[in-house]
Chains A and B, each alone.
Chain A
Amino acid sequence: MRHHEEENEEETMKVKVRFFAQFGELLGTDIIVEPASGTVLSGLIKEIAQRNKDGYNAIFDEKDTFREFVILMRNGKRVDTIDAVTTNVVDDDEIAVFPPVAGG
């Protein structure tokens, strides 16, 4: 994640990813990563989620796409999970990933 093929002098980015509720239990609640520039939101979350199989499966389906109820926020603004594949993360981004709960 830090540097890919080339050891170029790219500036390192720091991005905070926060997982809520069940996602947080499986993947950790606050994760700081240093993604390479050009990393897209969906790729970043996939990479982190791969640390835990149950965590990954909670967020992504068999086709590796976001489960439809998953809510993504970037710096306090909603990002449609469909747009996450084309949304680049930038330095200082704070990403929140959470599952709505449904019980009552």
Chain B
Amino acid sequence: MLSERERERYKRQILLFGEEGQEKLKSAKIFIAGAGGLGCPISLYLAVAGIGTLTVVDRDVVEQTNLNRQILHYDRDIGKKKTVSAGEKLREINPDIRVNVIDTTIDETNVLMLVGNADGIVDAMDNFPTRYLLNEAAINKKIPLFHGAIRGLYGQATTIIPGKTGCLRCIFPNAPPKEVFPVVGVTPGFIGMVQATEVLKYLLGSGELLANRLFLWDGMRSHGEEIAVTRNPSCMACGTMRKRTRKKP
């Protein structure tokens, strides 16, 4: 049940979703992997939208070079754990939600435990190896993975629904090389909002998701487009071939 205060807080979006929709958001648990360029705007907007439980994982400490885009971290937070800095701001901006922060490195030994009983995973990582782990966790738990990535003024986003859409490995079988990527805050801001919108639609069961659609954003030309993606039957992560038992000689 929504409290009187919540009804007021969410009044303008209850016009969109109804109280029933708002209740759905309140009872949702979303796992956000990363409190950086993507993770900051995504968690901020999911917090103010009233997602009942947000879990934010990050392993880093706030550095001066983060401040052009990681908008939950302020100048005074330099040297602080990103999880601590993000947790403070999120709880302050919406005390009516639960915010869990976990200061750790996501790896293959802890990813399933960290994701726990979340209803969805938001990919706010800055590298493909960890994204592939999130992808496998999403497949394992049969929950969606809301993918986003950026570089410079370019970005991409898609929503992966295990069993229904191609997975991250189907779409990107090989990781692009590691680099110190150029970035200005507006790009993760923009792509993060695409991801956060996907989360809301998924939880509300409304609209049309970026399912089997890869959204590509070119901020330099203010041009967005999408390309169709599909499941790869021999995908090493989700392929139907993968689980087939080995033939006996």
**A and B found bound together:** yes
0/1 interface trace, chain B 170-182, chain A, CB 8 Å (1 if under) = 0010111111010
A69–B188 alpha-carbon span in the complex (Å):
21
Q: Are B34 and A104 in contact (CB under 8 A)?
A: yes
Residues A101 and B172 in contact, CB atoms below 8 Å apart: no
Q: A103 near B149 (CB under 8 angstroms)? A: yes
Q: Are A104 and B148 in contact (CB under 8 A)?
A: yes
Question: Which chain A residues border B229 with CB–CB below 8 Å?
Answer: 78
CB distance A73 to B227 under 8 Å? Answer: yes
Nearest residue, chain A, Cβ from B188: A104
Question: A residues 69-88 with Cβ under 8 Å of B?
Answer: 69, 71, 73, 76-78
Cα A77 to Cα B188 in complex, Å, equals 27
Q: Tell whether A22 is near chain B: CB-to-CB under 8 Å.
A: yes
Binds B, one of A5-13, A40-48, A92-100: A92-100
Pair count A-B, CB < 8 A:
74
Interface size class of A (residues with CB under 8 A): 20 to 34
Interface centre among B125, B127, B154 (most CB of A within 10 A): B154
Chain A residue with minimal CB distance to B125? A104
Q: Is A21 an interface residue (CB 8 A)?
A: yes
**Given the interface contacts A21-B218, A69-B175, A71-B172, does A103 sit within 8 Å of B151 by beta carbon?**
yes
B161 interface contact, C-beta 8 A: no
**Cβ-based interface call for A20 (8 A):** yes
> Is B36 among interface residues, defined by CB-CB distance under 8 A?
yes
In the A-B complex, list the 7 residue pairs whose CB atoms are closest, starting with the nearest. A103-B181, A101-B151, A104-B126, A68-B174, A21-B154, A69-B176, A104-B38
Using a CB–CB cutoff of 8 Å, the interface residues on chain B facing chain A are: 34, 36-39, 123-128, 148-152, 154-156, 172, 174-179, 181, 183, 188, 216, 218, 220-221, 227-230
